[in-house]
Each structure stands twice: as structure tokens, then as C-alpha cells.
């Protein structure tokens, strides 16, 4: 529906009586109708007023309607166009379609009701397309701002004499809900990685909330941390809202590692058997009292732990496992480059999150 008074129409005709007749015809529609007696005057008016629609006569001295609308289409692409003529031939109309953005041809003489109906329809469609374009720009800005916030929440690479920690994170084109983080508490490196179901602003806001919770959590018992997170999950029992999550902590000196996961893919410790059983526990938010278990092991010098989101690779991907096995002697800087190369060979539409932890050496006694 056209917004009366806001939608603006420009009529270009060297016969001013035509302009006046069309103004009278459209007066009842509440439109702002402006006239111009030649293309030069029309272009001047278009530079100062944003018209929704311009209707131009075809046959005018100096510059005809096709030439005028071709120029207008380049300078003012948001303005819809229509042609008005009583002498147009088929070749003229074909040229107009090729050179301009003509949406309709009005014959002279015109049918008053048809002219009003079609003009209002074109102006309403023009307003609708402008609103869609504006919404698209706003959505793009929102997506870019959200991705910037996602990156802001990511940690710096961690490096000590005995442990290194780094990550790969790439946002998808849509707003996603993946996240990862790690921080040191005394001699423990605490870490987490999650994937919120769905996409869009809701998933992203849940991800931000999880970052805040997990950055302050107690990682002494990761399974209990998962239980507490599930207990406090605001969308419990909503089948479309859940979170896959893995968390744990590594003793920087001894290499003792304890982890638990809720529906998250099995991490890989290069050169070692899989760490978790098939059942990883239900994702956060699926059932009221899930069962989560801790896995405990000791990382020795040279061990590298890789935690993948399912956007990066399917669990137990044989090709990836074979690739990682060839990198068992590489440090995580080289390993990160290898995984980036692997990612670039795939068609991926989801967020990508990979956490890499390396035990470099035994702590001095």
C-alpha cells in the first residue's frame, strides 16, 4: 500500500495539458505528483527529490523518452520507470526495454481507471522494494556487528613452557551459535566449546550468554558443570533449542586432563584411541536429568588434543584422522595451518570452531 503524501511521482511531457490532466486524475490517490516539461528539467528535479516513479512521454523534442530514461536509470536506479506515448512503434518499445528499466507502457489516450490502478501499484511495489533493501542493509549490518562481537569474545593464544593452546574460528554467512574459550586458573587451563542449535539472533544471544557463564564456571568437575548448565537452561524441553557442549581442564604442570561432553563430537588426541564412549550424553536442554561422565587421562609431551565442531568435520572422519596422523610430530602452529587448508577444501555453511591444545614438555621438577 502506498503511503499517501510520501510516495512521489514525476510526469515528464512537453505537453503541459497532459501533465495537468494526469495530476487531476491522480489527485484522489493522495500522491505527490510533480511535472516537468522536458528531460533537462526532469533530471534537475530528480537531483533534489527522490521519486518512486517517473512516467515519461516517448516523443519529445531534443531528447526523447528512451534517451532520458536511459540516463535516469543510471543516475537514479531506485526510481521505477514507465513510458507514455500515442505514437510508439514496436521497435521503440523494444529499445526502451533494452536500454531502460521500463516496467509499463501507457498508451495515449489512456484508460483513466487502468492508469490510476497501475500507477498506484508500481509506486507501492517501489516502496516495498525500498523497504526490503533497507531491511537487508540493516540485517547485514547486524550480522557484521554480531560477528565482530563473536571475534571479540575469542581468547588470545595461550603459551607456557609446558602447554600451548590456539584455535580456528570462522563465522558462517548467517548468525550462528558456535563458541569456544579458555582461561587459566592457577595451574589449570580451563576450556569449553559449544554449538547452539539453529541460527539467527536468538542462537547468537544464547551463545553470548553461554560465554559469560562458562568464563566464570568451576571446572574441577566438568560433568557437574554440564549438569548445572542443563539445570539452568532457560529453554529446557524445547525440541528446537539445545546446546552441544564440551568442557574440561588441563593441569599445566602434570598434564592431567579431565573432560566431559553433552552431545558434542568426540575430540581427537592424535595417536591415541578415542576418549569417549559412543554415548556422549544428551545435549544441554533436551532432558531434565541427563547423565554426564568425566574422562580422565594424562597428556604427555608431544600430545595434541583437537576439539572439532560438527561444522568442521563429521565425528570419526577417516580422511581427517589420516591427515592428522601424518601431523603427529608437528606443533600446533603447523597443525593449525594444515587444518585451515583442510577447511578450505570443503563446502561449509556452518560456523567453524576448532580448539587445539598441545603438551609441549614435562614441567621441570
Confidence of residue 1 (pLDDT cuts 50, 70, 90): very low
Domains of the chain as residue ranges with CATH:
8-142 (3.40.50.2300), 154-359 (3.60.40.10)
Residue 175 CB-density burial (10 A; 0-12 exposed, 13-18 middle, 19+ buried): buried
Which position has the higher pLDDT, 295 or 202? Answer: 295
Q: What is the pLDDT of residues 142-195, one digit of tens each?
A: 666 666 766 777 888 899 999 999 998 887 656 667 889 999 999 999 999 999
Q: What is the pLDDT of residues 318-338, one digit of tens each?
A: 677 777 777 777 787 888 888
pLDDT at 91: 55
Q: How are strands ordered across the β-sheet holding 304-308? A: 158-159, 163-170, 352-359, 304-308, 268-269
pTM for this structure?
A: 0.60
> β-strand 80-85 against 53-57: which pairing, if any?
parallel
Q: Which of 221, 231, 247 is nearest to 286 (CA)?
A: 231
Q: Give 93-158 as a DSSP string.
A: HHHHHHHS-EEEEEESSPPHHHHHHHHHHHHHHHHHHHHHHHHHHHHHHHHHHHHHHHHHHSPPPE
Q: Which of 326, 356, 328 is nearest to 340 (CA)?
A: 356
Average the pLDDT over 7-29 and give the result. 91
Confidence of residue 136 (pLDDT cuts 50, 70, 90): low
Amino acid at each position: 500500500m502506498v503511503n499517501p503524501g510520501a510516495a512521489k511521482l514525476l510526469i515528464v511531457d512537453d505537453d503541459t495539458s497532459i501533465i495537468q490532466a494526469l495530476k487531476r486524475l491522480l489527485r484522489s490517490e493522495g500522491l505527490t505528483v510533480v511535472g516537468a516539461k522536458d528531460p533537462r528539467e526532469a533530471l534537475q528535479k530528480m537531483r533534489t527529490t527522490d521519486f518512486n516513479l517517473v512516467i515519461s512521454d516517448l516523443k519529445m523534442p531534443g531528447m526523447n523518452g528512451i534517451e532520458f530514461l536511459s540516463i535516469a536509470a543510471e543516475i537514479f536506479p531506485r526510481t521505477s520507470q514507465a513510458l507514455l506515448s500515442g505514437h510508439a512503434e514496436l521497435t521503440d518499445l523494444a529499445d526502451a526495454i533494452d536500454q531502460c528499466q521500463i516496467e509499463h507502457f501507457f498508451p495515449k489516450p489512456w484508460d483513466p481507471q487502468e492508469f490510476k490502478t497501475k500507477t498506484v501499484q508500481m509506486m507501492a511495489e517501489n516502496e516495498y522494494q525500498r523497504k526490503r533493501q533497507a531491511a537487508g542493509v540493516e540485517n547485514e549490518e547486524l550480522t557484521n556487528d554480531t560477528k565482530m562481537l563473536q571475534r571479540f569474545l575469542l581468547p588470545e593464544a595461550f603459551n607456557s613452557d609446558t602447554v600451548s593452546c590456539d584455535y580456528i574460528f570462522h563465522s558462517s554467512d548467517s548468525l550462528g551459535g558456535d563458541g569456544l574459550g579458555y582461561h587459566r586458573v592457577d595451574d589449570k587451563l580451563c576450556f569449553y566449546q559449544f554449538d547452539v542449535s539453529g541460527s539467527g539472533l536468538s542462537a547468537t544471544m544464547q551463545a553470548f550468554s553461554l560465554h559469560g557463564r562458562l568464563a566464570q564456571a568451576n571446572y574441577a568437575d566438568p560433568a557437574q558443570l554440564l549438569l548445572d548448565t542443563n539445570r539452568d537452561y532457560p529453554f529446557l524441553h524445547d525440541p528446537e533449542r539445545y546446546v552441544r557442549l564440551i568442557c574440561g581442564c588441563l593441569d599445566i604442570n602434570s598434564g592431567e586432563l579431565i573432560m566431559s561432553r553433552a552431545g558434542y563430537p568426540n575430540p581427537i588426541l592424535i595417536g591415541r584411541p578415542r576418549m569417549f564412549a559412543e554415548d556422549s550424553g544428551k545435549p544441554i536442554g533436551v532432558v531434565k536429568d541427563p547423565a554426564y561422565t568425566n574422562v580422565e587421562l594424562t597428556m604427555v609431551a608431544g600430545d595434541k588434543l583437537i576439539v572439532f565442531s560438527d561444522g568442521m568435520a563429521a565425528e570419526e572422519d577417516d580422511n581427517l584422522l589420516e591427515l592428522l596422523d601424518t601431523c603427529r610430530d608437528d606443533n600446533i602452529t603447523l597443525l593449525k595451518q594444515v587444518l585451515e587448508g583442510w577447511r578450505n577444501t570443503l563446502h561449509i555453511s556452518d560456523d567453524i570452531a576448532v580448539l587445539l591444545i598441545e603438551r609441549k614438555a614435562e614441567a621441570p621438577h
